Amino acid sequence: MQDDIKQILTLEIKNTKSLKTLDENYVRQKLEKFILTYGDIFKKLNKQIDKKGINNIQKNKYFKEIIKRVRDELRVVYGSFLTNDFSKKEKLLENQDNIEELLKVHKSTKERIEFYDEIYDKIFEWYKPEKIADLACGLNPLSYFKIKEIIGDIEYLASDLSSEDMNFLQLFFDKFKINGFAKAYDITNLEVLEDDNFQTCDLVFLFKALDSFETVKKNISKQLLEGIKAQKIVVSFPTRSLISKIEFKRERRNWFYNFLNKKEWKYQEFEIDNELFILINKN
């Protein structure tokens, strides 16, 4: 019975526009983790089901509480970045002229649109890669043509949580004959570090990713950065809240700068309107 309840919970968590493209197994893992941490809520739900049966479980207050809290956690790492037009992305992929419109269906890339030339000019003046890995990428790989204008064709590895989204990016790579490869990974599990394709990348993008990683697993960002074989990494952080637009103080990133200094990694930085970029050289 408990497995049946967990399956109903999993499907209901996914049953919202901002999370429907997430892999079911990933959502189930997050639910299991929540139950391990807050087992009393799940026990109370089970007791009420034992008394009243599983019918109308969706109306149970403990069921609703679990759904809300797990959804809130998932939106931090995924759902909050999607716009209402995200579902239109397949239709927009029909021709290259729609790439800018495609970039607008994800909030992070939408914010970057007018700054991409500046961002990539500065990154590739610092280092010209042969193969980029874009982790927790969202739809950033759709900016590939901006990269191509500056350094020409390169290999590109894209990875994020949703298999459906990665299938879409693979379709983008294939349609426009880009030497690209997209694969779904939960980056916080560090499995991507063992991917043979990832290990040959010489530049890694981690745009607006580390804050989300830290909410999932404290200090996982340090383990990830240490485990990356590439010597060149570009990390970015938002300079203000995506929702409230309140500006973040630099002290919020002290843990990150302290880590870089402890590792004695060289770094430089630049800022656009709403995003801070740190160019890291591990040599």
State pLDDT tens for residues 100-150. 888 888 888 888 999 999 999 999 999 999 999 999 999 999 999 999 999
Tell me, what's the pLDDT at 215?
86
Tell me, what's the pLDDT at 159?
97
Sequence-ordered strand ranges (E) for the chain: 131-135, 155-159, 180-182, 203-207, 232-238, 266-271, 275-281
**Please, which pLDDT band fits residue 33 given cuts at 50, 70 and 90?**
confident
Query: What whole-number distance in Å separates Cα of residue 283 and Cα of residue 127?
Result: 13
Find, among 170, 167, 171, 112, the residue nearest to 143 by Cα. Answer: 112
| CA distances from residue 137 to 69, 87, 149 in whole angstroms, order as listed | 25, 17, 20
Residue bearing the bigger pLDDT, 82 or 209: 209
**Overall average pLDDT of the 205-232 stretch:** 94
Tokens of 203: 């530049």
Residue 245 reports pLDDT greater than 80: no
Residue 223 reports pLDDT greater than 90: yes
State pLDDT tens for residues 65-84. 999 999 988 887 775 666 67
Query: What whole-number distance in Å separates Cα of residue 107 and Cα of residue 104?
Result: 7
Is residue 84 classed as helix, strand or coil in its secondary structure?
A: coil
Strand partners, 237: 276
Tell me, what's the pLDDT at 79?
59
Tell me, what's the pLDDT at 80?
62
**Please, which pLDDT band fits residue 243 given cuts at 50, 70 and 90?**
low
Mean pLDDT, all residues of the chain: 90
State pLDDT tens for residues 156-194. 999 999 998 999 999 999 999 999 999 999 999 999 999
The strand pair at 275-281 and 155-159 is best described as: unpaired
DSSP structural state of residue 246 = P
